[in-house]
Structure 1
Amino acid sequence: MTTDTAHRVNGASQADGTGTWAVLLPAGRYDAERLVHHDTLELTGLDGGSLPRPGDQVAVLADEPPRLVAVGRVAGPAAGRPEDPDDPQSDRVPDTLVIAYTRRAFDEPVPADALLLGGPVTPLDAATFRELVDRLGPAPQRRTWLVSLDLPIEADSPAEAVRLFWAYVQELGPRELPAFVSPSGDELAMQAFVLGAEANQDPEEDD
């Protein structure tokens, strides 16, 4: 037998985890990824054509201009399922493709102008994938940072002030509230970030 199912043992295929792909972030998702940390990227609506298998490696790209912003590995299937479970011949509904991030470069993406994309998901040969990922260079060393958020709040008690604080945080979020970050032990190097980017909070410096 030469069908795909002939290679499956206990539901796994020998081909699983060997593919390399490029995935294009949906419109607006790049900004969202820069605002809040996510462990995974979930994509829907990937109907038709070949799709990654669990374990396949993925280069995550942002568009306009094309640039590599992350690398990941497929953690969930993208095979379609019947729209009507009682009718296997009914129209297929694509499952969510789940990609677990293994490397992020949202703040310092690398150009990928020469890459030809055939849609939201494009298969890549291993050499092209490796050359693209190698542009990221070595992973930066992790360190400890102090992150704070200061809000002046009028309240009739400390407990009420805390409740209002979290209400404001939920309402305004990272799109409007500046967060202050500095390396641990070097508070003089504090920087303000809004919308995922460094922001000047000193009005005198804008003059």
Structure 2
Amino acid sequence: MTTDTVHRPNGASHAEGTGAWAVLLPPGRYDAERLVHHDTLELTGLEDRLLPGPGDQVAVLADEPPRLVALGRVAVPTGYGPEDPEDPQSGRGPDALVVTYTRRAFDEPVPAETLTLDGPVTALDPVTFRDLADRLGPPQQRRTWLVSLDLPIEADSPAEAVRLFWAYVQELGPRELPAFVSPSGDELAMQAFVLGAEANQDPEEDD
């Protein structure tokens, strides 16, 4: 499933860039981006490379095999900061490349095996970028979903039960806890999701 968001770049009054780039997610980052919603993608350690400029278009890719998982635009950089926040005179850390998502396809990535990548950031010609973007097809219509998480918790009081609930949520997260989702008004269509994918929670159906 793909989702769209309105582009809201950092530091709003910058003209849109004209460049187009492919950005490769670091190992393990795809799962993190798929499990929890983020408005932006921030990458560091790219100071020795030619980097996109503010407003440039970006195709975000996952590797092995190469897949298009999102589109975005480069946000206006916030500048360098001290490496040690408690010591303003310390050496400055590298700028981060910040990409504001404009389209997501983490649940249904688009194959991109024919794309030749030159490391974590690769310049693309506009035709190649548009071809990649067009493979996503039209965005699906947004709708309202009901999402719930039910945990049986033993506690001394309702307040203590709520505290334990949030402790379990923070500790276990979407990798272990099943979340239940259904279209608003159609609770009979409820599905359980674990690790970002539909998961069967009926042990009788496994027999």
TM-score, length-scaled by structure 1? 0.85
Identity of aligned residues (%): 82
Q: CA deviation at 1:43?
A: 0.2
Asked if 1:46 is matched to 2:46, the reply is: yes
- Written as runs of structure 1 = structure 2, the 5 A alignment for 1:1-207 is 17-77=17-77, 94-207=94-207
Is 1:78–1:94's contact at 8 Å kept on the other side of the alignment?
no
Max Rg structure: 1
Q: Write the letter of the residue equivalent to 1:194.
A: V
Q: State the SS of the aligned residue for 1:193.
A: strand
Q: Write the letter of the residue equivalent to 1:58.
A: V
Is 1:78–1:97's contact at 8 Å kept on the other side of the alignment?
no
The whole-number CA distance in structure 2 between the counterparts of 1:13 and 1:190 is: 43
- The structure, 1 or 2, with the larger RCO (C-alpha pairs under 8 Å, 6+ apart) is 2
Q: State the SS of the aligned residue for 1:38.
A: coil
Gaps spanning 5+ residues in structure 2: where?
1-12
Is 1:183–1:189's contact at 8 Å kept on the other side of the alignment?
yes
Q: CA deviation at 1:156?
A: 1.5
- The equivalent of 1:9 in structure 2 is none
Is 1:76–1:97's contact at 8 Å kept on the other side of the alignment?
no
RMSD of the TM alignment (CA)?
2.3
Is 2:14–2:54's contact at 8 Å kept on the other side of the alignment?
no
- Runs of 4+ displaced beyond 4 Å: 78-83
TM-score, length-scaled by structure 2? 0.85
The whole-number CA distance in structure 1 between the counterparts of 2:162 and 2:14 is: 52
More deviation in 174-183 or 47-56? 47-56
Is 1:35–1:195's contact at 8 Å kept on the other side of the alignment?
yes
The whole-number CA distance in structure 2 between the counterparts of 1:71 and 1:120 is: 15
